[in-house]
Structure 1
Amino acid sequence: MTDILATCPSLSTTPFSHLIPSLERHAISVADLLTLDHVDVAKRAQLPAKEVRRLTDAIINHLHSDLGILSARDQLEDGDRHSIQPQGGQILQTSGVELAQAQGRTISLLSPSLDTALAGGIHTAALTEITGESSTAKTQFLLTLLLAVQLPASQGGLAKTAVYISTESALATSRLSQICSTHPILASLPPAEKPSLAKVLSISVPDLEAQEHILRYQLPVAIQRHNVGLVVIDSMTANYRAEVERGGGKNTSSRAGPSAMAARATSLQATGHLLRSLARRHNLAVVVANQVADRFERPQHPDLAVDGLPPGSMHSDDGYPSDPALTLDHQQRFFTGWGDTPYAYGGLKTPSLGLVWANQLDCRIALIRAARVQSSRKSGPKEGEQSRWRRWMKVAFASWAPDAVGERGVEFEIRSAGVIGLGDDELPDAEPDNGSAVADSKRSL
């Protein structure tokens, strides 16, 4: 089966609809079209060589467009706004100054300490993931961004609209209103500059099929019509997990088998490519929430033991691998957000959707929590007694953010005003609220 639609999801296949069935029957992939001579491909698929060459050229132009490369013919059609043309008849679609300006825009989290850890905030033209276990404030971060993107650039926003795509529960509008009215930055703005719920477009997707349809067809139209600067998906995991659990009965093994996992990997790759393309084409930020699963510990290879670090699970059934430093179990501690510090945080976690999805991301933010033991008795806390939670935000990886490997992260609290970093002295009026304010949005955490 050909992988043209998976590799080039936005490529118009209408002019080549008569070629696709033959390519699928002969299992000709995009790699075959790009690496093999078009005459050999035509003989193998029993198609006209000129038609195969035309399809190959269309795929190459589509891939070049994703990379921001403009052909010499398109340059003439686009006008003479580019002054430098390298050898080979191809140029960059944007100049270096334009590219730097496009990638330099950020959306503030309305917390100086959190913004500093992210080198200014959530970056545009990028796909960002916020991952963590339940009640770590994933949705609280997303709700803050829905309001912050509406602010003018001087206040850390983009002065644009936001799109909220929910796969679990509906948008918590009451919590949005509470943050807007109680956050010191938002509350101090004049009425004309305050964020509005009217500029948050929300939609719920019940299953994976509806999700793919909305992302591929409806979202691009909404971005152009409503001047969208932020797209939020809360969460990316829910519908994929539901598809596996929906198998049931006789189909359970087939849905969880190798073929089903391969199909899911292809779908994740296509979805990631689509979201990154939208982010870069329209210079907007795409932020998705992800769930986590427990990572079970095993004895670590003695050659890789590091003082103070939790062990990795790098044993094979036959003993130690020949080069355990190259195993996924060892390396994932450096891009998942868990396992690279001596702080266990209640156990190691691994973000869902696997390595295929991790490779689609430009930035991963891990939200980590640990129990805070408190007691009002003079004798101290009773064994097993705990009150509230401590939470940290950690940048697992991002090309623009400082290296956070081995660090604990930035501690924050959930307050009535939203997510507030503990080092934010500039926000003295944002008082903790562990009662109704947080409980009202607990279902969306």
Structure 2
Amino acid sequence: MTDLVHILPSFPLSAFAALIPTIERHALTTTDLLTTHPTDLAKRTQLPIIDLRRFLAAIQASLSDDLTPSRPLAPPPSSPSPPENQEEQEDEKEPKNQESQEEQEKQPRPLTSVTSDEFISTLDDGLDAALGGGVPVGHITEFTGESGVGKTQFLLSLCLAVQLPPPHGLGKQALYISTESGLTTRRLAQMLQGNTILREAAESGTPASLDGIHSAVTPDLETQDHILEYQVPVLLSRHEIGILIIDSVAANFRAEFERQGSHGSNMATRSAELTRLGALLRDLARRHNIAVVVANQVADRFASSTTPSTIPRSLAMRGNLSPSHQESPLASRSMPPPSTIPNLSSTPSSSMPFSFFPDDEPATSPALALDHQQRWFTGWGDDPRSSSSLKTPSLGLVWSTQISCRVALYKRPVYGRPTRVAAPITADDDFDAMSPTLKTWRRWMKVVFAPHVAASGQGIENATEYEVTMEGLKSVKKDKVK
């Protein structure tokens, strides 16, 4: 017989009477049920995966109910003695209402409530001001940008800042889940030694350390799902953790789903997995009152030479669209293949005009095109005067609807004249004294959308410039001469 009855004596076995005999026949223990993916359990037991998920959810709920609360429960209010007369009842009416109001305020908040006045600092006042106080607790915040722009630097700063007491942190630990490489402890040690805020906290007796950071590596999507769904909730219930970091959220999805063959089915499966991941992270953020921060990669976006506003409806109806007219992969997948489009020119002529629409009438409004709308939630392309290359955060529109806050990071090169060399230059040397060389990079942080702070606006005029130094991130004043 399974050990579920011994571990959870109060578990309602009668509700899952159809599953228990099969589970006992396969000798599955409670540990096996909690550490094995539901898909593997369904293959092993030949039971419906929906019933198994409900069964596992009931086990997790029972385990959570048996955990000892971290704070003692408030004693039930004692019932007051009935007043002797009407005058005493009227005199005691107002104090009773005050006591009941105080008792309601002491009650714990529901799981769906989000504490919007708690933030985690980036260890820089200028960046915190641009973010509206820092990274909010109870939400999913995304930092997206190119490689080398400083996404991991933001995440490492948050890992140390969350350990500090308010107003910079929460006095809690951090959980860092990496999908690409391990936790860079050497960089964290540099920030601990060089950052002024961290040094002052250590001198005051509230230091941040590497021991306050839990880390894990998820090399594939299956491992990532297992850790987030089963191990992370247990870790959050046993430790005082204030932030969950995933670096990066796109690596495993791009490796698993962006393959050759069956592109449509892969995209549908990826969309379902992204929706499930977003729901899981939101539940963790609200249930445990933590901040969930993810790093996201970007891809190049090429503006099409022909937009839908310039394609007449009559041409679209004839099916004469060439590959150059297809604006994006989404548009190409939404259109039927050319073989299924009827050839209107072969139909018998009649008194009705050949086309239902004039050739100069656009097929769709440019405001409804994805190429126009995505500039407002991706962070790139909202400034028509900008000449920089367009980028698109990975995982597409589906993932954009799962997050609460998106912070875009930009970098641009700074060129200068090459420095003179001491050795004389000969004719055989491949050296151009007039060609510019890369001197440094300039970086900006921009709030694309967020529930607690206004967006930064078009372009990078209102964005916050920052530098990556040995002590961490440091904002740059606008009046500073570069």
1:107 aligned residue (102, 113, 120): 120
Structure 1 position 188, deviation (Å): 2.5
1:273 aligned residue (276, 279, 284): 279
Query: 1:180 and 2:188 equivalent?
Result: no
Question: Any idea what the Cα deviations from partners look like across 1:264-295, whole Å, max 9, x if unmatched?
Answer: 11111001100011001111100001100001
1:367 aligned residue (409, 412, 433): 409
Query: 1:324 and 2:366 equivalent?
Result: yes
Partner Cα separation in structure 2 for residue 400 and residue 146 of structure 1: 21
Q: Please give the residue correspondences for 1:100-179 in structure 2 after superposition, counting only pairs within 5 Å.
A: 102-154=115-167, 156-179=168-191
The amino acid of 1:170's aligned partner reads G
Task: Show the counterpart of 1:283.
Answer: 289
RMSD: 3.9
**Tell me, which stretches of 5 or more residues in structure 1 are unaligned?**
1-11, 20-51, 63-77, 85-91, 305-311, 426-445
Partner Cα separation in structure 1 for residue 393 and residue 327 of structure 2: 16
Q: Which runs of 4+ in 1 moved over 3 A?
A: 12-19, 78-84, 92-95, 299-304, 312-321, 342-346, 380-384
TM-score scaled by length of structure 2: 0.63
Partner Cα separation in structure 2 for residue 82 and residue 328 of structure 1: 53
Task: Show the counterpart of 1:397.
Answer: 449
The amino acid of 2:193's aligned partner reads S
Is the Cα–Cα contact under 8 Å of residues 117 and 402 in structure 1 kept in the other structure? no
Task: Show the counterpart of 1:4.
Answer: none
Structure 1 position 224, deviation (Å): 1.4
Partner Cα separation in structure 2 for residue 179 and residue 143 of structure 1: 9
Question: Any idea what the Cα deviations from partners look like across 1:2-42, whole Å, max 9, x if unmatched?
Answer: xxxxxxxxxx99946969xxxxxxxxxxxxxxxxxxxxxxx
Task: Figure out how many residues of one structure are paired with residues of the other and give that number.
Answer: 339
Question: Any idea what the Cα deviations from partners look like across 1:116-157, whole Å, max 9, x if unmatched?
Answer: 111000000000111111101010110000000000003x10
Task: Show the counterpart of 1:253.
Answer: 261
Task: Show the counterpart of 1:212.
Answer: 225
Partner Cα separation in structure 1 for residue 398 and residue 148 of structure 2: 26
Partner Cα separation in structure 1 for residue 295 and residue 17 of structure 2: 36
Structure 1 position 377, deviation (Å): 6.0
Task: Show the counterpart of 1:189.
Answer: 201
Determine which structure has more spread, i.e. the larger CA radius of gyration: 2
TM-score scaled by length of structure 1: 0.68
Secondary structure of residue in 2 paired with 1:188:
helix
Structure 1 position 258, deviation (Å): 1.4
Query: 1:296 and 2:338 equivalent?
Result: no
Residues 418 and 221 of structure 1, relative CA distance in 2, 3 Å threshold: same
Residues 178 and 332 of structure 1, relative CA distance in 2, 3 Å threshold: same
Is the Cα–Cα contact under 8 Å of residues 345 and 368 in structure 1 kept in the other structure? no
Task: Show the counterpart of 2:477.
Answer: 423
Partner Cα separation in structure 1 for residue 366 and residue 156 of structure 2: 41
Structure 1 position 375, deviation (Å): 2.8
Partner Cα separation in structure 1 for residue 109 and residue 281 of structure 2: 20
Partner Cα separation in structure 1 for residue 178 and residue 227 of structure 2: 11
Structure 1 position 112, deviation (Å): 1.2
Structure 1 position 302, deviation (Å): 10
Secondary structure of residue in 2 paired with 1:364:
strand
Residues 377 and 167 of structure 1, relative CA distance in 2, 3 Å threshold: closer
Secondary structure of residue in 2 paired with 1:338:
coil
Q: Which stretch of the first structure deviates more once superposed, 166-175 or 291-300?
A: 291-300
The amino acid of 1:353's aligned partner reads L
Secondary structure of residue in 2 paired with 1:94:
coil
Secondary structure of residue in 1 paired with 2:437:
coil
Task: Show the counterpart of 2:428.
Answer: none
